[in-house]
Amino acid sequence: MIVNFFKKYYAEIVLCLLLIGVAAVSLPNLTTKPRLWYDEGVNIEFAKNFLDFGKLDIQVSPGIFSQLTVLPQASGYPLSIFLSLFFGIFGFGPVQARIYMLIWMLLALLSVFIFVKKLVGRDLALIVAALIATFASFHDNGRVVMGEIPGFVFLLWALYWFFWKNSYLISGLLFGLAISAKPSVYMSVFPAILVLLILNRKNFWKNSLKILAGILPAFFLRIWFAMPDMLSLVAWKEVINLFRNPFGNDISLTASFLNNLLSIPKTYTILYFGLFFAIILFEYFRYKKKDFIYNQFFGFTITYCFFAFLYYLKSPGWLRYLIAAEFLTFILLVPALKNIFKGRHGKDIFYAVAVSLIGFQIFYLFNYAKIFYSDSEERVINLIDTEFRDKTIGIFDIPEIGVFVDSSRKFQIYRMMGVPSIGKNPILYEPAPEIFIIRANNNEGIDKMLPEEKNIFFKKYYFLRTVGRYNIYSEIIF
């Protein structure tokens, strides 16, 4: 009886072990590897302020919000609202934030398994899930509070409802949630949806309108949360400028495009997936007999990957914009390899190649992956809550620490790439905060100050100590 049960559900059992393995690998260094990061500090700030004040905004001083929510929302409300609810149930802190993301990682693997099982069978679904679970970028991007992984979950379910439920309205809603979760990563879905509808070959206009009707409410909520005053021409001008160049006027899109293009031979991740893409294309055009749904998924993936790659090329070289394209490539790679390795010993070769790829990724994950470790942020947060618990705190452009400072004694400024300063330098308040925290690495924090700000800063504060990657200053008492 037990043997029959294992034979029947072996893939699901192995999947459960895989999910347990991902959790076991992630939990020991959950808040330190990767280190708490700038952008996720912004996202956690949005969620915390929505929980406490009903505002998806940044608090720059006690009771004062930025009113510039459209500018720093790189990830959107599908990430922040659910995180806010999670904080309301389980409490607030970096551990809770990262556990929330670990849940999204496990949901992503479960969704991959269900989707690929429906597409090409459960054996291949298990291999795809294992490839993603052992992929270093899945852990690097997945553990931080960002919209890439939640967006991918919404994307897969949008395709699921499109292919197998023929529910274009729900599919559109899920596409809209994916785009809203991380617009920079999932805006490339739009041309891919168009290709999908063309390949579908039935009721093009009717189905297009249904998908659009599903996308619009999700997109409207994105605009509503990001732009409290949707009738403001100034706000729309800022949005247009941000879309023209989301990386700031100091960065030339043309120069970035050329630099990224020339650096491809030295970018191992691009070469790795370039090889996979070549295998996928070779197999697709060599063995042309394909399932109708598989053909649609292939067209969607190729289109999405092309436009996602173009967006990466105009960026400062940030590979995280390709994370969803990489996951979709894994989904196509496994059945492509299965079809290539046919014949008498083809099955054995296929499984040997698949196991070798998984083994290589495990080895790389534990030995060479650049997932940066730091406990500096938690040490500073602990110091604020103990030694400095009765003092006002000034935070200079460190949202990953500022978000965990009590809102009643927090004064902070953000100087982000591509957007105007948010808040004012804490040294300009009267009275100034009693404790001032700034990045220590090569005077990175102080170098961001204007000359007149530096003069005021050194008149008001003296150096207290260095804690990891941060310098702490105390107010001079005259």
Which amino acid would we find at residue 194?
L
| 372-425 pLDDT tens trace | 999 999 999 999 999 999 999 999 999 999 999 999 999 999 988 767 788 899
Average the pLDDT over 339-367 and give the result.
Answer: 92
pLDDT at 27 over 90: yes
- The pairs formed by 187-190 with CB atoms below 8 angstroms and a separation of 24 or more are 187/307, 187/311, 188/303, 188/304, 188/306, 188/307, 188/308, 188/310, 188/311, 189/155, 189/304
pLDDT, tens digit (0-9, with 9 covering 90-100), for 146-172? 999 999 999 999 999 999 999 999 999
The whole-chain average pLDDT of the chain stands at 90
pLDDT at position 318 over 90:
no
pLDDT (0 to 100) of residue 234 = 63
Percentage of the residues of the chain whose pLDDT score is greater than 90:
74
**Higher per-residue confidence, 345 vs 73:** 345
Dihedral sign, Cα of residue 355, residue 358, residue 360, residue 362: negative
Q: What are phi and psi of 356, to 5 degrees?
A: -65, -45
Alpha helices in 315-439 (DSSP H): 323-340, 346-367, 376-385, 399-402
| CB of 124 closer than 8 Å to CB of 338 | yes
Rounded CA gap, 175 and 219, in Å?
10
% pLDDT > 70, the chain:
93
Give the tens place of pLDDT for each residue, 273-299.
Answer: 999 999 999 999 887 777 899 999 999
- Say what the pLDDT of residue 421 is: 83
Write out pLDDT tens, residues 211-234.
999 999 998 888 777 766 666 666
Whether 241 has a pLDDT exceeding 80, the answer reads no
Secondary structure (3-state) at 196: helix
Tokens of 19: 């999910």
User: Tens digit of pLDDT for each residue in 60-72?
Assistant: 999 899 876 655 5
Please state, in angstroms and rounded to a whole number, the distance separating the CA atoms of residues 474 and 478: 12
Q: Which of 196, 238, 184, 208 is nearest to 67 (CA)?
A: 238
What's 467's DSSP letter?
E
Q: How far apart are CA 248 and CA 243, in angstroms?
A: 10
